[in-house]
Amino acid sequence: MAERYYQREIETMPSEQLKKQQDEKLVRQVRHVFNDVPYYRAKMEEKGVTPDDIEGVKDLYKLPFLSKDDLRETYPYGMLAVPLSDCVRIQSTSGTTGKRVIAYYTQHDVDLWDECCARAIVAAGGTRDDVVQVCYGYGLFTGGPGLNGGSHKVGSLTLPMSSGNTERQIQFMMDLKATILCCTPSYAAYIGESLAERGYKPEDNELKAGIFGAEPWTEEMRRGIEKSLGIKAYDIYGLTETSGPGVAFECREQKGMHINEDHFLAEIIDPDTGEVLPDGQKGELVFTSLDKEAFPLLRYRTRDICVLDRTPCPCGRTHVRMAKPMGRSDDMLIIRGVNVFPSQIETVLLHEGYAPNYRIEVDRVNNSDTFDVFVELLPEQFSDTVSAITAMERKLSDALRLMLGISPKVHLVPPKSIERSEGKAKRVIDKRKLHE
Ligand code: DLL
């Protein structure tokens, strides 16, 4: 089947032409923030750079970085780049620590964001004939409103379900014959599990695709969801600060997510030194929004660790691809001096045949780190003897040691004993923080 695009001309624009547009937009955006956001002007002046120093993308490195701390410091209105009366919406991060970050949108910004989400939906096979069930949270979280807006642009029938109430999700999915499911991967896995419990087989639903993001998920998890729902699962990435979901999305090739480079410039930097790294090297992802009006961020440090790939994509899109983020630099656990990403643990669990229902607990006892991984047994394993389960725990612990370089204590626990997530899963409990 021929590849479909929501905005063919933009998505397949020759690189030279795209680069020229980016240069022009960047020059304009830098002037906009310098003139209209005193905080930015001060930061640029501190670094000795003026808009005249920025002639295009080649000069991006001259600009100062912006971090979440800057956004917290300027809460609530300090980063606003247009009069408040021009804004039509806010969204906000979940803000588990410190102040929330508030993102502002003009109508132009909302349209731009919705278009990015529409590109993701069309890349996943969406058309005006589809029924798109959006079970990302609605409200301050960007997931629901973003995919909702994208689905409207495509002209699909949109089911604005929000997250939770799984019983109702399943009823609407079946009765209204939803064809595209949008939610976090952990909630998709839970919906798959809930359908099976109710006796539904994967072929009983009309779903053809899922658009899942907002949290790290592994290839193994993708395969599990695809099997349980009978669909093709697509990744989507974004963050509140850059508008929400749709900054990048997967095409049918699924070799990384295309970044909507007409709106967002991406760089990879060394998180320790701030040095810009060449394409292909792993580091922290940094975004510059080229044409957002109300809340335009220049060189925003996402803390997401990933790699950029500029090799041509057979789908015809010319925009750069980002690999699945391995997790945020601040999600990384340092246990007995070793760096551990929860996604590495998930890879091993799924590879060893367990479901993605697990919890990681880290603590410090007598000045030494403890590292426990609780993993649910599958219902058919639950009846195994104690000695069989002890042997399975040992096998899993060995597999984790091979991946991580350190051994966790593995606890296989009864099915359904680990809480399911309807939004972003919370899999890590680091009790060491309580002692600080
Ligand atoms: O999670 C926006 C979103 C909604 C993206 C729905 C995709 C789908 P925040 O709550 O601000 O925004 O969290 C942003 O989530 O910096 C990443 O660490 C993580 N994240 C988002 N998408 C992915 C993904 C939304 N596909 C933070 N893979 C980001 C891995 C992701 N991590």
My answer on whether 135 and 265 are in the same domain is: yes
Best mutation site among 92, 135, 239 for ligand 1 pocket (most ligand atoms within 8 Å of CB):
239
My answer on whether 387 and 319 are in the same domain is: no
| Structure confidence at residue 433 (pLDDT) | 72
My answer on whether 141 and 36 are in the same domain is: yes
Query: Which of 330, 352, 384 corresponds to the end of one domain?
Result: 330
Q: 3-state DSSP helix/strand/coil percent for the chain, to nearest 5?
A: 35, 25, 40
Supply the CATH number for residue 407's domain: 3.30.300.30
Domain that holds residue 41: 8-330
SS3 letters for 28-94? HHHHHHHHHCHHHHHHHHHCCCCHHHCCCHHHHHHCCCECHHHHHHCCCCCCCCCCHHHEEEEEECC
Structure-block tokens of residue 269: 């930097």
Distance CA 138, CA 11 (A): 28
Distance CA 396, CA 373 (A): 10
Number of structural domains, the chain?
Answer: 2
My answer on whether 307 and 339 are in the same domain is: no
- Ligand 1: distance of its center to the CA of 186 in Å? 13
Supply the CATH number for residue 207's domain: 3.40.50.12780
- Ligand 1: distance of its center to the CA of 352 in Å? 27
Q: Is residue 435 part of a domain?
A: no
Residue of the CA atom closest to atom 21 of ligand 1: 214
My answer on whether 386 and 247 are in the same domain is: no
pLDDT interval class at 328 (50, 70, 90): confident
Closest ligand 1 atom, CA of 257?
A: 26
- Ligand 1: distance of its center to the CA of 240 in Å? 8
Mean pLDDT of the 214-219 span: 92
Pocket lining for ligand 1, CB < 6 angstroms? 93-94, 136, 142-143, 213-216, 235-240, 244-245, 302, 304, 324-325, 328
- Ligand 1: distance of its center to the CA of 68 in Å? 15
- Ligand 1: distance of its center to the CA of 215 in Å? 5
The DSSP secondary structure of 168-196, one letter per residue, reads: HHHHHHHHTT--EEEE-HHHHHHHHHHHH
Residue of the CA atom closest to atom 29 of ligand 1: 239
Query: Which of 330, 363, 383 corresponds to the end of one domain?
Result: 330
Mean pLDDT of the 76-82 span: 96
My answer on whether 241 and 338 are in the same domain is: no
Closest ligand 1 atom, CA of 101?
A: 11
Name the average pLDDT for the chain.
95
| Structure confidence at residue 102 (pLDDT) | 94
Closest ligand 1 atom, CA of 235?
A: 26
Q: Is residue 348 part of a domain?
A: yes
Residue of the CA atom closest to atom 28 of ligand 1: 216
- Ligand 1: distance of its center to the CA of 306 in Å? 13
- Ligand 1: distance of its center to the CA of 392 in Å? 34
Structure-block tokens of residue 420: 């399911």
- Ligand 1: distance of its center to the CA of 365 in Å? 33
Report the first-to-last Cα separation within the chain, whole angstroms: 57
My answer on whether 275 and 411 are in the same domain is: no
Q: Is residue 2 part of a domain?
A: no
pLDDT interval class at 272 (50, 70, 90): very high
My answer on whether 318 and 187 are in the same domain is: yes
My answer on whether 302 and 388 are in the same domain is: no
Mean pLDDT of the 36-55 span: 98
My answer on whether 207 and 244 are in the same domain is: yes
Q: Is residue 3 part of a domain?
A: no
Query: Which of 266, 297, 330 corresponds to the end of one domain?
Result: 330
My answer on whether 260 and 409 are in the same domain is: no
| Structure confidence at residue 380 (pLDDT) | 85
Query: Using CB atoms within 10 A of its CB, is residue 348 exposed (0-12), middle (13-18) or buried (19+)?
Result: buried
pLDDT in tens, 385-407: 889 999 999 999 999 999 999 99
Q: Tell whether the model's pLDDT for residue 95 goes beyond 70.
A: no
